[in-house]
Amino acid sequence: MSAGKHFVSDPKDLVRTSLSGLVAANPHLALDEKEKVTYVKDLALLRTKQVTLFCGGGSGHEPAHAGFVGHGMLTAAVSGHVFASPSSSQVLSCLRRVYSEEHGTLVVIKNYTGDVLNFGRAVERFKSESVNQGKPLPKVAMVVVDDDVGVVNPNDDAEGGVGRRGLAGTVLVNKFAGARAASGGSLDQVKAVAEYVISNTFTIGCALNAASVPGQGLPRVLGDDEIEIGMGIHNEPGFETKKPQPADILIPSLVDHIVNSSPFKKAHPGRTGRVILMVNNLGATSNLELGLVTKLAVEATRDCGLEPVRTYSGTFMTGLAMPGVSISLLVLPEDEAQRNELLALADQSAHCPGWVNQTWVEDAGCTDESALEPAVQVKPASNEVWEKAITLAYRNVVADEPQVTLLDQLMGDGDCGQVLLSGATAINDAAQSTQLPLNDPAAALARISSIVEDAMGGTSGIIYCLFLDGLAQQLRSLNVADNSSLSPQLWGQAMLGALDTLYQYTTARPGHRTLIDALEPFASSLASGGSLEQALDAADKGAAATAHMQPKRGRAVYVQQKGDLADAGAAGLVSVLRGIVSALQ
């Protein structure tokens, strides 16, 4: 792997120090260094005047997203490590900070699994906090940007699938939604504008090489006689590697790919109309070359029968110092009144360093530190039944970990057993040291969810977290205040409700060869009046059935089926459930 050269002191602290530099150069901004949240200083006033909105994701895409924080665009942005989603705790701290009780808050994210799960979990945790405080559900909406037409997964079906990636079109969503919020729009109106832009923006990228990651170097290198069409902003492979072409051939081919892509043709089969064109520098393209690309993109768009009524050219969303460009087309409404309304939002000023029409804003002179922690604190309490269930579940996971790990090594990335064991160990340690509020089931589940987030990495960890968050909310909504009112059937009903929460953030369903194939039968059996033993048998059969399913979600999608191997996640969940059921018999 090539080392790459960077201006860096400590790669582990690069994101935090970079954000500090951004804030130092822009006195209208403030930074929560611990959570890596950048926000407007006059936040306390802004929350009383309008819908607030924030975006976020992994770092390395600057100026996205912190560079777009300012009046007329984002209220805040939350940053993860380079190319890695921020944790749900980071996102939650941002949501607590910016939430407007009067007007509501919109959350904008790109369509990557880590972002969807972590931001989704933060929203659900925020809802749980509100319910636990006796308040109505907060006015929070989330939209997911998926403008990529370079890599369209042919395996995505009517049930969803991985979907298209979020690229530079996310900046357009932030621009239009931010302008609508600043002009007094309601949460529904701001969300509607965001959804229109998402549904009508189409992006493709082209790179001359991958980008070097500070502290890691170049993950791969294209040859001198190679360029890649569709390379992602995290160095993900595109759909075609080809020989370099003259710009006057290459750029029109990119625009032609957009208008002939299945998402574009499905949304706009007529291939006529007015558009907003965005030409984006992926990080290391010279301004001289970008001017040429912009000229050619405008001409190619017109040659395709579309008229660019606004053209944005600059650096909006990068892949670190990736030598390349992306081209985005936002198709405007045919209706003149609706089109003029969107153009008015496009022309509205955005006072943030990353947007080309404004680079300096006077010091707002104040910061706001309120609403950073949940108002309700819970007290730990012991409970013999809970503690026995946790202990036996932990012992089961310890015993079954080697087999779960083996299954995942053969059909995944090999970490499922260890990740599950880490979570089970942390929960057991917390129970043994009386750190859990076991006299209050909803509060106990919420605390366990937080422990799981800290102890378990990867997709399985956040899946468990989202389910536990939803389960805690369901128990609270069913007025379950203590353990005495619980029954197996009530647990089943609550678990089905928690699955509905989980389904908001993942397209995985029964039959897709995931842990849900064990979880859903267990919950359904209990909810329909089945005994614990019957529910466990249903879960066991569901997990066993995954051995004969074609993988539709997770890393196993990319691995050829090897014999009659059950899904590791489903097998691990059954191990947990078996321990719990044995404790309750």
- Active-site residues, by number, are 234
Q: In 326-480, which ranges are continuous DSSP H helix?
A: 336-347, 384-411, 416-432, 441-455, 458-477
Q: Is 7 exposed, middle or buried (0-12, 13-18, 19+ CB in 10 A)?
A: exposed
- Rounded CA separation 81/86 (Å): 7
For the stretch 65-81, what's the b/e string if a residue is b when 16 or more beta carbons lie within 10 angstroms of its beta carbon? Answer: bbbbbbbbbbbbbbbbb
* Angle 538-543-547 from CA coordinates, rounded to 5°: 135
Cα distances (angstroms) measured from residue 236 to each of 2, 35, 157, 258, 557: 17, 27, 22, 19, 17
- Rounded CA separation 97/41 (Å): 11
- Rounded CA separation 304/259 (Å): 8
Q: How many residues does the chain have?
A: 585
Structure tokens at 101: 């009780």
| Type of residue at 343 | L
Single out the residue of 503, 506, 507, 437 nearest to residue 472, CA to CA: 437
Q: The dihedral of CA 250, 255, 259, 261: what is its sign?
A: positive
Q: Is 304 helix (H, G, I), strand (E, B) or coil?
A: coil
* Angle 95-132-109 from CA coordinates, rounded to 5°: 25
Cα distances (angstroms) measured from residue 145 to each of 107, 203, 209, 274: 11, 11, 25, 21
Strand pairing class (306-314; 273-281): parallel
Give the alpha-carbon dihedral of 414, 416, 422, 424, to 10 degrees.
-150
Single out the residue of 299, 197, 285, 300 nearest to residue 255, CA to CA: 300
